[in-house]
Amino acid sequence: MVLSTSSAQASVPQYSFQTEDGKWDGEIGNPNKGSDLEVELVPPIYLKTSSGSKLLTNYSNLRARLCNASTGKCTGYHSLTGGKTLFTGMKIGKFYVDVKDGYSSGKVNGKLQIIFK
């Protein structure tokens, strides 16, 4: 038996991320000047603390930015409160995603996807 996925699902890669690990949380090549790129969280998202893991359903302490791979210039951080954020009018190039959290004790991990709009 062959399982199939829709072409929309197959064309949107998912990236694992963890805040405060010093690594990029995903990347995308933008072939079109002026494109809008959306970063969207893919539940479940977890907060890991010294006392264990907790499922997050409120993303108000999470933010994302895009950084140009060749210039090193980054956008400002955008709130992920609703589980996603939109970056508008992006230049052509390769961009890295950086996710940070506002928690004083703990790290957030999960998956995200980057979608052309």
Q: Residue 1: inside a domain, yes or no?
A: no
* pLDDT number for residue 2: 46
Question: Which CATH number is 91's domain given?
Answer: 2.60.120.380
Counted domains in the chain: 1
Buried b (16+ CB within 10 A) or exposed e, 18-35: bbeeeeebbebebeeeeb
* pLDDT number for residue 3: 45
Q: Residue 54: inside a domain, yes or no?
A: yes
Paired tokens of 52: 């264990």
CB 65 within 8 A of CB 90: no
pLDDT in tens, 19-43: 999 999 999 988 888 899 999 999 9
Question: Per-residue pLDDT averaged across 105-117, rounded?
Answer: 93
Q: Residue 40: inside a domain, yes or no?
A: yes
9 vs 21 pLDDT, higher one: 21
**Confidence (pTM):** 0.86
Domain extent at residue 95: 13-116
Paired tokens of 5: 């996925």
CB 64 within 8 A of CB 77: yes
Q: Residue 29: inside a domain, yes or no?
A: yes
74 vs 12 pLDDT, higher one: 74
